[in-house]
Every structure is written in structure tokens, then in C-alpha cells.
């Protein structure tokens, strides 16, 4: 049996026919073509608004950057404000236009940048030539510094000599004009600050120098203990405390011995307390002497004959008349010649 053709039309055909009929009957009614046209126009209008907003935001961003750059004479790097809205390409273009050249390169040029990296290196080891400073430890720090930062042979001494201070700097001033390598630098420093004669002189000072009358006990104890750590590091704590205590001022030494200290911290604390008490006693005595009048300003003493008067005994009106001395009268009488 032959198949009859279907009278149903496709849905698209029906919709197209309906739209054409609607367009004929009502030309104002929207069709698919009109809807596509309206949608395209809306997208263009939105795109135009976005570009206008992006351009306006870019102008504001540029003005803010110019104001900050004008107010900051050093052109320091600052935190950028939020990027304006828009397409990624537009954001990149606006950021490049609004970012100053110095902000892209904070140091202005690569020479300053390289110099800043070199200056970021930690400070060189320091040495001043004080009695308690150990030259051996200083030279070990110098070796570590040269190895860590891979200093060239020509730059080793010129770099390390900047760390010399005080007496060591004065001593090295005559060697600055000479071409001294690193090995010679270490040899010269050892011969000056770590020779056997120098160590002998320091040992004599360690066991012989006592605390001065006006020397602070804190400074004295610190210098002695540091000198012990350099010259006699293997001595026990009790030996160090006993030696240092014997070199204190007598007034402080008597007080410290009564406390029976066993370590450096206790010795330091007790000695500081003793010195503070001593200073307070001196201040009280000085204040008392200032209040006490001078002998020449007191005036005459109180008379024991005249309780209400002040005068010397020789000036007292109630003083009795002096009696004649019979021995003086006999001596004054003419002598009678004897038969």
C-alpha cells in the first residue's frame, strides 16, 4: 500500500511563515531578523559604553599617577591603584601609558640597580684592637666573609680594611698606600695584636690592674671577664670570680665577699648594688657638708659665764680681774746685796 505523504510541515517552516504573515499584517511586530538586528545594536551600544568607561577610568588613573609623581620629588615606588575595568588588552595599554618610567625601573638605570645590589651585602667584620678582642676570631670571620661572597683577590684587603676601627684603624693607616694581599694582611695583624709579647703584657694586666678610684665597677668587671675569655678560656668560673673579686675596690670587695657569689652574673649584680650604695652614702655626706656651716661663719661660741651671750672668754665683761703673780713681783723687786 503506497504511503501517503505527510501533511505536517517542519516547525521552522511554520515559524517562518508565521513571521512573514505577522510582518505583512503588522509591520511593527518584531521578527527574527529584527530581533537579531536589535541584539547586535545592543551589543555595540554596550561595547561602546564599556570603552567609554574604560577610557574615563584611564584618564582618572593617569591624572592620579601624575599628581603622585609631582608631589613626590624622589619618585619613590608606590602601590598602583586598581586597574580600570575593560578588556585585558585595554588594561595593559592603559597601565603602560599611566605607569611612569621610573616606576617600571625603580632605580632609574641599571647602574644604580647594580650598585644597590652590591651595597646590600652585609657589613664586613669589625675589629678595633681592644684588649678583649680576639684577633684569631676576627680573622676566622674574615675568612668566612671572603669565601661566602667570593671576593676577588684584588678586592679582599680593600674591603676588609673598612671594618677596622679605633686603634686598629690608626695602626693600619700606614699600610693603606702599600700593595698588601690578604695573606700579608693576616700576618701583619697577628704580629701586632696576637704575638707572644702582646699576650704576656695582657696577662700581666689581667692579674695586676685593680679597679681605679673613679672607674665604674660595671665597666671594670666587663673588661676583666672578656679578657679572661680571650686569654684563659679554660679556667673555671670559680677561678675567674676569685681573681676578679680580689681586684675590686676595697669597699666593694668587702661587700661582695660577704655574699659568697659563685658566678659572674651574681658578682656583677652584687657589685653594682654595692657601688650604688656607696654613691648614695657619698651624696648624703656631701649634702650634710653643704648644710653644715663653716667654722668662720658660725660666730663666737656661747659664754659659760653669760648663758645668753656669745663671745670669747677674753671679751667677757664678767671676767674677773687678773691676780698679781707673786713670782713676777719678786723678780721685778730690786735685789738686796748680801753681806
Q: Which cell is 306 given?
A: 653669760
In this structure, is residue 169 part of a structural domain?
Answer: yes
Cα(173)–Cα(168) distance, rounded to whole angstroms?
Answer: 9
Q: Which cell is 63 given?
A: 591624572
Q: Are residues 223 and 244 in the same domain?
A: yes
In this structure, is residue 17 part of a structural domain?
Answer: no
Q: What is the CA radius of gyration of the chain?
A: 51
Residue 21 makes CB contacts below 8 A (sequence gap 6+) with none
Q: Are residues 157 and 133 in the same domain?
A: yes
In this structure, is residue 237 part of a structural domain?
Answer: yes
Q: Are residues 183 and 244 in the same domain?
A: no
Q: Are residues 265 and 207 in the same domain?
A: yes
Degrees, nearest 5: CA angle 60-66-69: 140
Q: Is 304 helix (H, G, I), strand (E, B) or coil?
A: coil
pLDDT one-digit tens code per residue, 125-170: 999 999 999 999 999 999 999 999 888 999 999 999 999 999 999 9
In this structure, is residue 256 part of a structural domain?
Answer: yes
What's the pLDDT at 252?
93
Provide the β-strand partners of residue 164. 127
Cα(134)–Cα(201) distance, rounded to whole angstroms?
Answer: 15
Full domain range(s) for residue 248: 199-291
Cα(54)–Cα(47) distance, rounded to whole angstroms?
Answer: 10
In this structure, is residue 121 part of a structural domain?
Answer: yes
Cβ atoms 157, 182 nearer than 8 A: yes
Q: Are residues 184 and 218 in the same domain?
A: no
DSSP conformational letter for 287:
H
What's the pLDDT at 159?
92
Residue 55 makes CB contacts below 8 A (sequence gap 6+) with none
Cα(86)–Cα(134) distance, rounded to whole angstroms?
Answer: 66
Which helix (H) or strand (E) segment holds residue 43: the answer is helix 32-71
What's the pLDDT at 93?
65
Q: Which cell is 172 given?
A: 693600619
Q: Are residues 173 and 217 in the same domain?
A: no
Q: Are residues 219 and 279 in the same domain?
A: yes
Q: Is 79 helix (H, G, I), strand (E, B) or coil?
A: coil
What's the pLDDT at 310?
72
As for how many domains the chain has, the answer is: 2
Q: Are residues 215 and 255 in the same domain?
A: yes
Q: Are residues 252 and 177 in the same domain?
A: no
pLDDT tens over the chain, length 339 residues:
455 545 555 454 455 555 454 444 444 445 566 676 677 667 666 655 556 566 656 665 676 667 666 665 555 544 455 555 556 666 666 666 665 544 445 545 666 766 666 666 678 999 999 999 999 999 999 999 999 988 899 999 999 999 999 999 999 999 998 889 999 999 999 999 999 999 999 999 999 999 998 899 999 999 999 999 999 999 999 999 999 999 999 999 999 988 888 899 999 999 999 999 989 988 888 888 777 666 555 666 777 677 777 777 777 777 777 666 656 656 665 655 555
Q: Are residues 285 and 228 in the same domain?
A: yes
pLDDT one-digit tens code per residue, 171-211: 999 999 888 999 999 999 999 999 999 999 999 999 999 99
Residue 86, Ramachandran bin (φ over 0: left; ψ between -120 and 50: alpha; else beta): left
Cα(111)–Cα(108) distance, rounded to whole angstroms?
Answer: 9
Which of 175, 194, 213 corresponds to the end of one domain? 194
In this structure, is residue 251 part of a structural domain?
Answer: yes
In this structure, is residue 314 part of a structural domain?
Answer: no
Which of 162, 194, 226 corresponds to the end of one domain? 194
Q: Are residues 283 and 232 in the same domain?
A: yes
Q: Are residues 203 and 190 in the same domain?
A: no
With cell 671594618, the residue in question is: 163
In this structure, is residue 317 part of a structural domain?
Answer: no
Backbone angles phi, psi at 295, to 5 degrees: -60, -35
Which of 150, 165, 194 corresponds to the end of one domain? 194
What's the pLDDT at 54?
60
Amino acid at each position: 500500500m503506497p504511503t501517503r505523504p505527510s501533511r505536517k510541515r517542519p516547525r521552522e517552516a511554520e515559524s517562518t511563515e508565521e513571521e512573514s504573515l505577522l510582518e505583512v499584517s503588522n509591520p511593527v511586530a518584531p521578527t527574527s531578523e529584527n530581533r537579531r538586528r536589535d541584539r547586535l545594536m545592543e551589543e555595540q551600544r554596550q561595547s561602546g559604553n564599556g570603552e567609554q568607561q574604560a577610557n574615563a577610568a584611564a584618564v582618572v588613573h593617569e591624572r592620579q599617577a601624575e599628581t603622585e609623581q609631582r608631589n613626590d620629588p624622589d619618585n619613590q615606588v608606590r602601590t598602583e591603584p586598581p586597574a580600570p575595568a575593560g578588556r585585558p588588552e585595554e588594561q595593559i595599554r592603559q597601565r603602560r601609558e599611566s605607569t611612569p618610567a621610573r616606576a617600571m625601573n625603580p632605580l632609574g638605570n641599571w647602574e644604580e640597580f647594580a650598585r644597590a645590589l652590591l651595597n646590600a651585602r652585609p657589613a664586613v667584620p669589625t675589629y678595633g684592637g681592644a684588649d678583649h678582642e680576639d684577633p684569631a676570631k676576627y680573622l676566622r670571620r674574615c675568612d668566612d666573609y671572603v669565601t661566602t661572597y667570593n671576593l676577588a683577590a684584588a678586592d679582599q684587603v680593600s674591603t676588609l680594611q673598612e671594618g677596622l676601627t679605633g686603634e686598629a684603624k690608626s695602626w693600619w693607616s700606614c699600610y693603606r698606600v702599600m700593595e698588601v694581599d690578604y695573606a700579608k694582611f693576616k700576618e701583619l695583624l697577628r704580629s701586632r695584636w696576637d704575638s707572644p709579647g702582646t699576650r704576656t703584657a695582657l696577662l700581666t694586666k689581667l692579674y695586676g690592674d685593680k679597679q681605679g678610684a673613679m672607674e665604674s665597677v660595671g665597666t671594670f668587671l666587663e673588661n676583666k671577664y672578656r679578657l679572661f675569655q680571650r686569654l684563659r678560656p679554660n679556667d673555671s668560673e670559680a677561678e675567674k670570680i676569685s681573681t676578679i673579686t680580689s681586684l675590686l675596690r676595697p669597699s666593694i670587695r668587702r661587700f661582695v665577699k660577704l655574699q659568697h657569689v659563685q658566678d659572674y652574673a651574681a658578682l656583677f649584680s652584687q657589685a653594682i648594688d654595692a657601688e650604688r650604695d656607696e654613691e648614695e652614702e657619698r651624696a648624703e655626706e656631701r649634702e650634710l657638708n653643704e648644710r653644715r656651716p663653716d667654722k668662720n661663719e658660725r660666730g663666737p661660741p656661747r659664754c659659760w659665764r653669760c648663758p645668753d651671750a656669745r663671745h670669747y672668754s677674753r671679751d667677757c665683761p664678767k671676767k674677773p680681774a687678773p691676780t698679781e703673780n707673786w713670782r713676777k713681783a719678786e723678780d721685778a723687786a730690786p735685789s738686796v746685796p748680801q753681806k
